[in-house]
């Protein structure tokens, strides 16, 4: 029997088995209403789940109202949101995939327009145009995200304790909703990343200064996530592996952070990068194919912890090579799946490991297999 490509070899994480090693990355679509999912989410998530990935993430969901990025952010701050998430998890399960959700707080990047509305801080024009006004944002310190952005309120110890409880309640709601995997968002300039990065955190208390102190809150919340999440199910953390080239949070910091995450029982680190506005004259990591794979590889090799590789991974042979060479354990696709949501199922065909079209919903597979038999494609 021919050996399956690693991409389509099942993966066991704790008691959860993924049918393959392709993950739909969490992608914010800013299309909720008052934190509630809409028909858009059903269509969007259903399309992605039907494409054949083993693990499908629902987009970042806010732990409280203040923690939204935009008025369109999906929420998990209220028990009323549980039914929406349960419907999305059930939809994913209906396509023989596992369901995951990312839990987040927007921090100093909150109170902003949707990207296609400009992505800038909300103002009077947004109130006039859409009835969407700004709100007070909070972060690790009072440093604005960028020139022209409002200064966030530096969170007090009491506010930190309150948001920790908001995260705890969000983790509980996610489990009631029926998700299989939970992920804490510590990347892309949002609240947890703003505590980690010296570019955003200038506190002089137990949550600022040294790397140990800057890691304190994200590790505290990650530990609560592991405590609240069932022992038999996996917990992930997404990180910005670096802020930029030789500035701010570094890959050495990420290795140290990952080691601490491993010690508290986190199963996998999802290795992204960037999200901070860098001082003039500094640069982000160049966005070339697989540009974040070296970060996943270094953490997996040095920490001995499973990682997710993400970022401009488009070609099946390259994805397979990443796994074969031990550079990561899962391959996450984002915008590539917006372009072609059937990438996983098409790749299974191309690699010769799905002759019966079982990666496709049977409502599609039966017809497509017949078409190929009759027409050759």
pLDDT mean across residues, the chain: 96
What are the tens digits of pLDDT across the range 126-161?
999 999 999 999 999 999 999 999 999 999 999 999
Q: How much is the pLDDT for 6?
A: 97
58, pLDDT greater than 90: yes
Kindly state the average pLDDT of the residues 20-38: 98
Q: How much is the pLDDT for 316?
A: 95
13, pLDDT greater than 80: yes
pLDDT band at 1 (very low <50, low <70, confident <90, very high): very low
Delineate the domains of the chain, giving CATH numbers in brackets.
6-341 (3.20.20.70)
Q: What sign does the dihedral 121-126-132-135 (CA atoms) show?
A: positive
- Counting other chains too, the contacts that 304-308 makes at CB distance below 8 Å and 24 or more residues apart are 304/262, 305/258, 305/259, 305/261, 305/262, 305/266, 305/268, 305/269, 306/13, 306/267, 306/268, 306/269, 306/330, 307/268, 307/269, 307/270, 307/271, 308/23, 308/236, 308/268, 308/269, 308/270, 308/271, 308/332
Kindly state the average pLDDT of the residues 233-251: 96
Q: How much is the pLDDT for 3?
A: 83
Could you confirm whether 318 is annotated as catalytic? no
Q: How much is the pLDDT for 283?
A: 83
What are the tens digits of pLDDT across the range 244-299?
988 999 999 999 999 999 999 999 999 999 999 898 888 888 999 999 999 999 99
Place of tokens 């801080």: 121
Question: Which member of 167, 190, 207, 318 is catalytic?
Answer: 190
- Could you give the percent of the chain with pLDDT greater than 90? 93
Q: How much is the pLDDT for 2?
A: 62
Kindly state the average pLDDT of the residues 201-217: 98
């Amino acid at each position: 029997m021919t050996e399956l490509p690693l991409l389509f070899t099942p993966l066991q994480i704790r008691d959860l088995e993924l049918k393959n090693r392709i993950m739909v990355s969490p992608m914010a679509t800013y299309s909720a209403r008052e934190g509630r999912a809409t028909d858009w989410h059903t269509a969007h998530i259903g399309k992605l789940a039907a494409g054949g990935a083993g693990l499908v993430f629902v987009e970042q969901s806010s732990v409280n109202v203040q923690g939204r990025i935009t008025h369109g952010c999906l929420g998990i701050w209220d028990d009323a949101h549980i039914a929406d998430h349960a419907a999305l998890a059930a939809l994913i399960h209906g396509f023989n995939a596992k369901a995951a959700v990312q839990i987040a707080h927007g921090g100093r990047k909150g109170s902003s327009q949707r990207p296609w509305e400009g992505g800038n801080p909300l103002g009077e024009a947004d109130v006039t145009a859409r009835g969407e006004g700004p709100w007070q944002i909070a972060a690790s310190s009072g440093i604005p995200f960028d020139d022209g952005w409002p200064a966030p309120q530096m969170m007090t110890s009491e506010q930190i304790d309150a948001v920790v409880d908001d995260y705890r309640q969000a983790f509980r709601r996610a489990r009631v909703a029926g998700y299989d995997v939970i992920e804490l968002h510590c990347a892309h300039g949002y609240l947890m990343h703003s505590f980690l990065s010296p570019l955003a955190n200038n506190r002089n208390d137990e949550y600022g200064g040294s790397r140990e102190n800057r890691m304190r809150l994200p590790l505290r919340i990650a530990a609560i996530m592991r405590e609240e999440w069932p022992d038999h199910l996996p917990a992930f953390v997404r990180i910005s592996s670096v802020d930029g080239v030789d500035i701010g949070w570094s890959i050495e910091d990420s290795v140290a952070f990952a080691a601490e995450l491993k010690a508290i029982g986190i199963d996998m680190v999802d290795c992204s990068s960037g999200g901070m506005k860098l001082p003039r004259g500094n640069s982000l990591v160049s966005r070339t194919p697989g540009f974040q794979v070296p970060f996943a590889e270094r953490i997996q090799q040095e920490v001995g912890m499973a990682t997710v590789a993400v970022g401009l991974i488009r070609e099946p042979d390259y994805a397979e090579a990443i796994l074969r060479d031990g550079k990561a354990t899962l391959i996450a696709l984002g915008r590539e799946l917006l372009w072609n949501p059937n990438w996983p199922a098409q790749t299974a065909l191309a690699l010769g490991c799905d002759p019966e079209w079982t990666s496709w919903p049977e409502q599609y597979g039966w017809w497509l297999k017949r078409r190929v038999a009759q027409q050759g494609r």
